[in-house]
Amino acid sequence: MEVKDVAHAFSFASKSPQRKVLLEQIRRKGDFKHNVRVLAEGKGQIVTVKQPSHKTSAWHYLPCKFCYGMFSWTDLWRHQGSCKLKTSSETDNKRKTRGAVQSVSARLLPIMASSSGCQAIINKMRQDDVSFHIRGDSLICNYGESLYAKHGRVKSKHNYISQRMRELGRFMLTAKAMDSTVRTLEDICVPKKFLLVVNAAKKLTEFSPSKNEYGKPSTAVRVGFCLKGAVEVLIGQSLMNDDDLAEKKAKKFLELLEKNWKTHVAVSAHQSMQEKRWNKPDDIPLTKNVMALRDHLRMVEDKARAELEQQLSLTAYKVLNESILAQLIVFNKRREGEASRLTLEAYKKVNTNPINEDIYSTLSPLEKELSKQLTRIEVRGKRGKKVPVFFTHRMMESIQVLLKWRDEAGVPTENPYLFARAGVLTNIRGCDCLRKYAEESKAENPELLRSTKLRKQVATLCQLLDLDEQELEQVARFMGHDIRVHRDFYRQTDKTFQIAKISKLLFAMEQGSSTLTGRNFNTLHPSVSGMYVHTLLFLCTHHVVV
């Protein structure tokens, strides 16, 4: 603290409110410096404004950004509402949410991560026990640094980095509850702690010994993947620090992980995941429900657009933004992330290249007319592939209304996304838009109206068309994957199709191979007894899988 600050405080009368507030601020600043040193070194006791009634972790406290006093992270929001050192400009502003207050205050605390990008990711996390542990765990932070070095350039990957770090954070909280000698991830990445690692992973993922299955099998698989990555980072650190002992222990632990994790955890976890997939319905949305969603989105779009053509309304701007994004996903059957992350720059680079005359001349009159009704834009798809997105004239007219009010709606100039959120540098989420408007549309089974299900609907309905190999490949390329993925993973075996068509083959086979010669499904007409017909009608009506 500065001598002039003390002198300034003593310039007021001894019992004046100003002197009392300034001296309290000086005390709290001194306590804050002490607390930062304790947290950075990992030893000592922090000074809080209110002493806890029971033993608790130092990471459960956050500093007020105005007075620097340390408050419980659950009480900080309440304190900041009445902090005496809050400036008048802050008092006039709209009060922030509890999460926003915690996020800002968390930036004042030391973090083991070195890069500003990784620090920003940690600061944006929900401020809870998990994020508090991550802040003080150097290996988890260094693992986050390695992920940021690899994926940090792509902003959409920041959530992925955060999730991987939080998975290790949750794992460590479980391990610490089982073994009080463990403090950080580095403490557990040694051979003698391997069984603790296995047991902690099983407890975290709700493993049932009696059933030999996991309640959260995907988490069990990801924890193993993250642990391996973190140990590899630890080996690299040991090599750079010439720490032969730490390197030897880490390499032995990695060897155990590679040889025994599969036996103890991964195999059962994968089996649990497969069983859940088998028991999960593979229904796809019906065309009438997709049409109901489309009609509802257009109605919402028209209403919001009419309002914006008169004057700016932030609510109407948000609704129009969401409805256009949802329509884009439904129309193109795009992955929601691909459409959501479409940039303004990419949109402005509309594909205005002249049509290839050789190809255009081979099109039918209908195809030629359709090619004039759509505008094609290329976006970055999965694994960096270029995938096309088609815009109708109607969509583009509504987007022009959005662009007209973009600045007035509070979208920062630095926000690169077409479907941008006001006041921040991120985009709106297509999955949230689809979920919201699917519920509003009153369509049957709104939970099926999601981007993945819509993509599977395309692949499945393509079976009804007589597409040759080249046409099927064109569909697969538009969807952003190759033809093998299209057939093996997206195409669903429709129960109605399977019962109606395959049953004809089975009944025909019962009547002898002579009835099959030179036939296809459409020309097969086996004679079926009345009992068989009754059974078949029941199966088709009730979609019973036999």
Does 409 have pLDDT greater than 70? yes
* Tokens coding 239: 């090599």
Q: Compute φ and ψ for 137, nearest 5 degrees.
A: -105, 105
Judge if 222 and 192 occupy the same domain.
yes
DSSP-derived 3-state class of residue 77: helix
Split at pLDDT 50, 70, 90, the class of 101 is confident
In whole angstroms, give the CA distance from residue 325 to residue 395: 9
pLDDT of residue 94: 54
Does 515 have pLDDT greater than 90? no
User: Is there a contact between 379 and 351 (Cβ–Cβ < 8 Å)?
Assistant: no
In whole angstroms, give the CA distance from residue 455 to residue 130: 36
Does 354 have pLDDT greater than 60? no
Q: Which of 17-31, 201-215, 383-397 has the highest mean pLDDT?
A: 201-215
pLDDT of residue 543: 46
In whole angstroms, give the CA distance from residue 373 to residue 391: 9
pLDDT of residue 348: 85
Judge if 56 and 160 occupy the same domain.
no
Judge if 477 and 375 occupy the same domain.
yes
pLDDT of residue 55: 77
Judge if 365 and 446 occupy the same domain.
yes
All residues at 6 or more sequence positions from 472 whose CB lies less than 8 Å from its CB, including other chains: 462, 483, 486
Q: Tell me, yes or no, whether 107 lies in a domain.
A: no
Give the closest residue to 372 by CA, choosing from 342, 392, 353.
392
pTM value > 0.85: no
Domain total in the chain: 4
pLDDT of residue 282: 67
Q: What is the dihedral of CA 431, 433, 436, 439, to 10 degrees?
A: -80
pLDDT of residue 112: 65
* pLDDT mean over 385-397: 82
Q: Which of 102-116, 418-432, 453-467 has the highest mean pLDDT?
A: 418-432
**Of 118 and 501, more confident:** 118
All residues at 6 or more sequence positions from 20 whose CB lies less than 8 Å from its CB, including other chains: none
pLDDT, tens digit, 9 for 90 and up, residues 59-82: 678 888 888 888 887 888 888 888
When mean pLDDT is compared across 8-12, 93-97, 239-243, 491-495, the lowest value belongs to 491-495
* pLDDT mean over 346-370: 69
Sign of the alpha-carbon dihedral angle for 486, 379, 334, 388: negative
Judge if 57 and 145 occupy the same domain.
no
Judge if 227 and 156 occupy the same domain.
yes
Q: Tell me, yes or no, whether 111 lies in a domain.
A: no
Quote the mean pLDDT of the chain: 79
In whole angstroms, give the CA distance from residue 481 to residue 171: 35
pLDDT of residue 463: 59
Judge if 423 and 362 occupy the same domain.
yes
Give the closest residue to 465 by CA, choosing from 408, 474, 129.
474
Give the whole-number percent of the chain exceeding pLDDT 70: 75
Answer with the one of 47, 72, 102 that is the final residue of a domain.
102
**Of 327 and 480, more confident:** 327
Q: Tell me, yes or no, whether 163 lies in a domain.
A: yes
* pLDDT mean over 179-187: 92
pLDDT of residue 461: 61
Compute the residue count for the chain. Answer: 546
pLDDT of residue 179: 92
What Rg, from alpha-carbon coordinates, does the chain have?
30
* Tokens coding 230: 């973190």
* Tokens coding 473: 């490949």
Does 92 have pLDDT greater than 50? no
Split at pLDDT 50, 70, 90, the class of 156 is confident
Split at pLDDT 50, 70, 90, the class of 100 is confident
Judge if 7 and 148 occupy the same domain.
no
pLDDT of residue 7: 72
Q: Which helix (H) or strand (E) holds 118?
A: helix 116-124
Residue 419 pairs with which residues in a beta bridge? Answer: none
pLDDT, tens digit, 9 for 90 and up, residues 223-265: 999 999 999 999 888 888 888 898 899 999 999 998 899 889 9
In whole angstroms, give the CA distance from residue 480 to residue 491: 14
**Of 338 and 188, more confident:** 188
* Tokens coding 66: 């105005």
Q: Tell me, yes or no, whether 403 lies in a domain.
A: yes
Split at pLDDT 50, 70, 90, the class of 544 is very low
CA 230 vs CA 41, 86, 505: distances in Å: 22, 42, 55
Residues of the domain holding 339: 287-490
**Of 405 and 489, more confident:** 405
pLDDT of residue 87: 66
* pLDDT mean over 148-171: 88
pLDDT, tens digit, 9 for 90 and up, residues 264-291: 998 888 888 888 777 666 677 777 888 8
Q: Tell me, yes or no, whether 52 lies in a domain.
A: yes
Answer with the one of 227, 254, 279 that is the final residue of a domain.
279
pLDDT of residue 230: 92
Judge if 214 and 358 occupy the same domain.
no
* pLDDT mean over 343-350: 84
Q: Tell me, yes or no, whether 236 lies in a domain.
A: yes
Judge if 144 and 93 occupy the same domain.
no
Does 508 have pLDDT greater than 60? yes
Split at pLDDT 50, 70, 90, the class of 332 is confident
E strand segments, 210-319: 213-214
Split at pLDDT 50, 70, 90, the class of 502 is low
pLDDT of residue 164: 94
pLDDT of residue 512: 59
Split at pLDDT 50, 70, 90, the class of 95 is low
Q: Tell me, yes or no, whether 108 lies in a domain.
A: no
In whole angstroms, give the CA distance from residue 134 to residue 141: 7
Q: Tell me, yes or no, whether 424 lies in a domain.
A: yes
Give the whole-number percent of the chain exceeding pLDDT 90: 23
pLDDT of residue 322: 93
Judge if 412 and 500 occupy the same domain.
no
Split at pLDDT 50, 70, 90, the class of 347 is confident
Judge if 322 and 415 occupy the same domain.
yes
**Of 173 and 546, more confident:** 173
* pLDDT mean over 131-148: 89
